Amino acid sequence: MNRTNLDFLIPMFPFGHFSDFSILIINQTSENNLLNSDFSSVQVINSYEIGLSKSRNLGLEMSKKSILLISDDDEIFKEGFDVLIVDTYNNYPNAVVAGFQIENPDGNLFRKYLKETKSNLTKFDLFGIFSSEITINKVFLEKVNVKFDTNFGLGANFSMGEEAVFLMDLKKKNQQLIYMPKVIAINPSITTTDRLNFEERYYIQGAFLARVLKRNYRFHLAIKLFFDLKQRKLKITQISKAIKNAKLGKKDFYKLQNKKNA
């Protein structure tokens, strides 16, 4: 957001110059604060709309290459990441999405990952994936016409969960989503989830479950509560309020849907 020069790209590619890569920047900004590029390999679109999912949809639409990688603007790529991604799609030519690993700045894995390659991710595998971990085959994506839900993500009604919604929509269309246990980048360890209290998280969780798992809402909410208790992300005394906020999120999501369909 509000970038005025390309200097932020320099530390993202410590092993070479950023102009060696095909880059599309969606810069959410105002008309008097524009970003421009003098590099033919770096395309810039200055967007006056706010919302992470809107930005990503615009990027998916305007991108010109067949294999896409969604990146944050403070990500640091590992040398050879591009070769690894291309090799993966050559080995799995029917995959619409290939997920990878990312590290924290301290060199540890960003989160707990599967240890083995998986050629058909389940819906449970998709819940914890971050956008900076996924790569996309645009050819297949255009065929199934799946986009990010603009109700989810920073700047939207529900400020997280956009990656899981996007991947679940692809899963529902019987697309192949795979996972490769290889690190492609380093990313700061602070996420949107870390900034939210448990009430906000469960409000969004309620909306998310209503969006992707309508029939099994209560079951998956119970699973979420169980694992949060087990991992000490939630206290027993907070369960009632967590359920209440999830119910409110679910209700507000259906209000949005009804308004959209009216």
Per-residue pLDDT reduced to its tens digit, 38-77: 999 999 999 999 899 999 999 999 999 999 999 989 999 9
**AA identity, residue 53:** S
Residues 165 and 211 sit within 8 Å (Cβ to Cβ): yes
The sign one gets for the Cα dihedral 238, 244, 247, 248 is negative
0.85 exceeded by pTM: yes
**Which one, of 218, 200, 197, lies nearest residue 209 by Cα?**
218
- What are the pLDDT digits (tens) for 207-240? 999 999 877 889 999 999 998 999 888 999 999 9
The mean pLDDT value of the chain amounts to: 93
Residues 140 and 96 sit within 8 Å (Cβ to Cβ): yes
Residues 48 and 29 sit within 8 Å (Cβ to Cβ): yes
Mean per-residue pLDDT, 243-256 = 95
Tokens 């033919």: give the residue.
Answer: 40
Element (H, E) at 195: helix 192-195
- What are the pLDDT digits (tens) for 147-192? 999 999 988 999 999 999 999 999 999 999 999 999 999 998 666 6
- What are the pLDDT digits (tens) for 13-44? 999 999 999 999 999 999 889 999 999 999 99
First-to-final CA distance of the chain: 33
256 vs 50, 52, 119, 216, 221, CA distance in Å? 18, 18, 35, 20, 21
* 3-class secondary-structure state, position 34: coil
